[in-house]
């Protein structure tokens, strides 16, 4: 279990409890966090679950794999800390994770 905070583009924060083994996207959907649409249901095929990982968690979250990176190549406003939240698996060491949503998902 890890508490994850989603920060909307306008600064509104949503803190949710996420179960180990689920994805960060699934935790957002379960709690109706606005801005995470997850149109493809977590298949790494839509990029509507794009988030910016807080710099203090970059190493723990890790880098995108090749499939995710190719999807990010087509997403808007991609930064070096961009990830698709459906591809981040929740673990205890992500306790306190903060992710921010891009303007295009505001
Ligand atoms: S939910 Fe579609 S890419 Fe993450």
Pocket test for ligand 1, best of 36, 45, 102 (most atoms within 8 A of CB): 45
Residues listed for the chain: 106
**From CA 39, how far away is CA 93, in angstroms rounded?**
27
Predicted TM-score of the model (pTM): 0.96
Superfamily holding 2-105: Beta-grasp domain (3.10.20.30)
- Could you read off the pLDDT of 10-53 as tens digits, one per residue? 999 999 999 999 999 999 999 999 999 999 999 999 999 999 99
**From CA 99, how far away is CA 91, in angstroms rounded?**
15
- Could you read off the pLDDT of 78-104 as tens digits, one per residue? 999 999 999 999 999 999 999 999 999
Domain ranges of the chain: 2-105
CB atoms closer than 10 angstroms to residue 103: 10
Report the separation in Å between the CA atom of 6 and the middle of ligand 1, taken as the mean of its atom positions. 16
């Amino acid at each position: 279990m890890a508490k994850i905070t989603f920060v909307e583009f306008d600064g509104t924060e949503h803190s949710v409890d996420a179960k180990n083994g689920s994805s960060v996207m699934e935790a957002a959907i379960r709690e109706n966090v606005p801005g995470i649409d997850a149109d493809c249901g977590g298949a790494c095929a839509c990029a509507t679950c794009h988030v910016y990982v807080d710099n203090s968690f970059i190493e723990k979250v890790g880098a995108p794999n090749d499939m995710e990176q190719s999807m990010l190549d087509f997403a808007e406003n991609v930064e070096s800390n961009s990830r698709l939240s459906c591809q981040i698996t929740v673990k205890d060491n992500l306790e306190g994770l903060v992710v921010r949503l891009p303007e295009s998902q505001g």
